[in-house]
C-alpha cells in the first residue's frame, strides 16, 4: 500500500463549479498535510497546509483533514479556468531522517472549462 494515494482523474468541470480533490494516507503518525498546485511545465507551488484535523480556508480554497479516516480534501469554490492545473497532496515525514521528506500523491489533473 502506498503511503499517500490520490485519484489521478482527470477531472473536468465547468467554470463556477465546486471542485473536490481527495487523498488518503496510511500512517496515523502524520501530522501535517499540504496541497501543491503544478501548472504545466512548471514546478509545484505550495497552495495550502494544515496541521492535524479540521478545516482551513484561504479565499476560494478550503483544506480539510479527517485524521480518524486518514482522509484529506481540498475544495475549490467558484472554480476558474486559471485553476486548471495538477493538484498534489503532500505529507511530510513523521520523524527521524524522514522528517524533511515530502511524500506526494499521484496528482489530480483538473481542467476548468469556460
Partner 1 sequence: DSGVTQTPKHLITATGQRVTLRCSPRSGDLSVYWYQQSLDQGLQFLIHYYNGEERAKGNILERFSAQQFPDLHSELNLSSLELGDSALYFCASSVFARGQDGYTFGSGTRLTVV
Binding site for partner 1 (CB under 8 A): 31-32, 34, 41-46, 49, 51, 88, 90, 92-93, 97-107
Give dist(CA 73, CA 10) in Å, integer: 16
Closest CB to partner 1 among residues 14, 96: 96
Give dist(CA 84, CA 103) in Å, integer: 23
Give dist(CA 48, CA 34) in Å, integer: 6
Closest CB to partner 1 among residues 5, 75: 5
Closest CB to partner 1 among residues 18, 46: 46
- Shortest CB 20 distance to partner 1, Å: 20
Q: For the beta carbon of residue 87, count every other beta carbon within 10 angstroms.
A: 24
Amino acid at each position: 500500500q502506498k503511503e499517500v494515494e490520490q485519484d489521478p482523474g482527470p477531472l473536468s468541470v465547468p467554470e463556477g463549479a465546486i471542485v473536490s480533490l481527495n487523498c488518503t494516507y496510511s500512517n496515523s503518525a502524520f501530522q501535517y498535510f499540504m496541497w501543491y498546485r503544478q501548472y504545466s511545465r512548471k514546478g509545484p507551488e505550495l497552495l495550502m497546509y494544515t496541521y492535524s484535523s479540521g478545516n482551513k480556508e484561504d479565499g476560494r480554497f478550503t483544506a480539510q483533514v479527517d485524521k480518524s479516516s486518514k482522509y484529506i480534501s481540498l475544495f475549490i469554490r467558484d472554480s476558474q479556468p486559471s485553476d486548471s492545473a495538477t493538484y498534489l497532496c503532500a505529507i511530510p515525514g513523521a520523524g527521524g531522517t524522514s522528517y524533511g521528506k515530502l511524500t506526494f500523491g499521484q496528482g489530480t489533473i483538473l481542467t476548468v472549462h469556460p
